[in-house]
Amino acid sequence: MGRTGRRPGGVDTRGSILSAARSEFGNKGYHQATIRSIAAEAGVDPALVHHYFGTKEDLFATSIDLPLRPTELADTVFADGVESAGMRITTVFFTVWENQETRSPLLAMLRGAFGTEQGAEILREFFGTAMLGRVAPRIGGDDAELRVSLALSHLIGVAVLRYVIGFPSLRDVPVDQLIAAIAPRVQSYLDS
């Protein structure tokens, strides 16, 4: 994603919005910061924020350099139907974590969630809205949210042990082997 949005007159609208977003999310927390308040902070129309960055979740993801657009994630994961979503979500998850550059913001988010209540709130709200809110309805069932959360918890647990703690048996195994082992368990949560 290049640095577009530089206008005549030298005003980098996209950059201003991004700075405002980082400031608002940082000061008010994920929940309290709004597209409206970010637009006001940047001195632009809210429509322009949507135009450049999509939804609030997408803007947040961009503001912390996450390589995924939450609103597109569910489409990617369910592209071949529910029956292969376990493999797809597990593959996407580890592809992002394996790449040193895309791992950093995730690691920072995870550490932030452990360190401060505001960090925990970001993870709750962001994943709650961005992931559960979009993924759960696709699999259906009364306990869909619980099952998606359990699948996510497994992925996060592996990330914690592999990338944060460096648990030898999980750190040293090739990622393909890891994905092959985990995907069926993730799938089993999506199935029932």
What does the DSSP assignment read for 45-69?
Answer: -HHHHHHHH-SHHHHHHHHTT-S--
| Residue (6 or 124) nearer to a copy of itself, CB | 124
Of 47 and 120, CB closest to a copy of itself? 120
Q: Is the distance from CB of 122 to CB of 30 less than 8 angstroms? A: yes
Shortest Å distance, C-beta 15 to a copy of itself? 31
Query: Of 140-169, which residues contact a copy of itself (CB under 8 A)?
Result: 145-150, 152-158, 160-161, 164-169
**Distance (Å, rounded) from C-alpha 73 to C-alpha 148?**
14
CB of 103 to a copy of itself, least distance (A): 15
The stretch among 23-31, 56-64, 80-88, 174-182 that binds a copy of itself (CB under 8 A) is 174-182
**68 near a copy of itself, judged by CB under 8 A:** no
The minimum distance between CB 149 and a copy of itself, in angstroms, equals 4
Contacting residues for 22 by C-beta, under 8 A, at least 6 apart: 63
The answer to whether the CB of 159 falls within 8 A of the CB of 123 is: no
Spatial contact of 42 and 20, defined as CB atoms under 8 Å apart: yes
Does 123 bind a copy of itself (CB under 8 A)? Our answer is yes
